[in-house]
Amino acid sequence: RGGTVPPGTAVPGGPGGSGSMTCSDKIAKWSAVGLQGALLSRWAGPLHLATVTVGRKFSRPHLERALCCRLQDFTPGRHPELGRIAGGRYCVRHVGAMCTAIKFDTGAIDTSAGGRNCVR
């Protein structure tokens, strides 16, 4: 459905033998190593997420597990490539989880007005 991969699904070439990452995989990685790319990490420290807002189907335990808590048993020695990411400055961070009653998937963003107006 729309290019989404259910958690735990093995995709050829991604994590665990596959090359695809789910949205929560990417956010968990960003919360540990930062949002900055390789170029910016040469001059600045990691830029970390402070909060994530979910528009519907909000479950705090599931969100915490998906975005940070599954990294609790992370061992840097098993992942030498992380030494090259963000200068080796990474750690498990708990991201603030918020919910909104607005269903983000029912509207569109009007970019001609500066990207701040929701068109329904």
CB 36 within 8 A of CB 69: no
Distance CA 104, CA 82 (A): 33
pLDDT at 47: 81
Provide the whole-model pTM. 0.56
Q: What is the pLDDT of residue 94?
A: 80
**SS3 at position 61:** helix
Predicted pLDDT of residue 75? 61
Query: pLDDT value at position 7?
Result: 58
Domain ranges of the chain: 1-102
Strand partners, 18: 14
Largest Cα separation within the chain, whole Å, is: 49
Residue spans of the chain under pLDDT 70: 1-19, 74-90, 103-120
Q: What is the pLDDT of residue 76?
A: 59
State the angle between helix axes of 23-33 and 60-67 in degrees (0 to 180), rounded to the nearest 10.
60
Amino acid 81: pLDDT? 58
